[in-house]
Homo-oligomer: A and B are copies of this chain.
Amino acid sequence: MFLKELESFIEIFTRLPGIGEKSARRIAFYLLRSDKEEAQKLAKSIINLIEKIQFCEICGGFSSEPICEICKDEKRNREILCIVEDPSDIFIIESTQEFNGIYHVLMGALSPLDGIGPENLRLKELEERLKKENIKECFIATNPTLEGDATADYIVRNYSHYPVIFSRLTHGIPTGSTLEFTDKHTLSISIKNRMIIK
Give the B-binding residues of A (Cβ under 8 A): 1-6, 8-9, 12-13, 15-19, 23, 25-33, 36, 38-50, 52-53, 62-64, 68-70, 86-88, 90-91, 94, 180
Contacts and interface: CB of A to CB of B under 8 A. Distances in A.
A48 B41 CA distance: 14
> Top 7 closest A-B pairs, CB basis?
A43-B43, A29-B88, A39-B50, A43-B46, A9-B45, A12-B45, A5-B52
B32 A50 contact: yes
17 contacts: A1-B91, A3-B62, A3-B64, A5-B48, A5-B64, A6-B53, A8-B45, A9-B45, A16-B30, A17-B26, A18-B27, A25-B91, A26-B180, A28-B49, A31-B50, A43-B43, A43-B46
Contacts of A17: 23, 26-27, 30
Given A1-B90, A8-B45, A29-B86, 20 more contacts: A3-B53, A5-B45, A5-B48, A5-B64, A8-B48, A9-B46, A15-B38, A16-B27, A17-B26, A17-B27, A25-B88, A26-B180, A32-B50, A32-B62, A36-B50, A39-B46, A39-B49, A39-B50, A43-B44, A43-B47
A68 B6 CA distance: 14
A1 B44 CA distance: 22
Given A48-B5, A94-B1, A32 B53 contact: yes
Contacts of A41: 12
A122 to B, nearest CB: 14
Copies in the complex: 2
Most chain B beta carbons < 10 A, residue from A5, A13, A15, A48: A5
Contacts of A91: 1, 25
A54 to B, nearest CB: 9
Contacts of A12: 41-42, 45
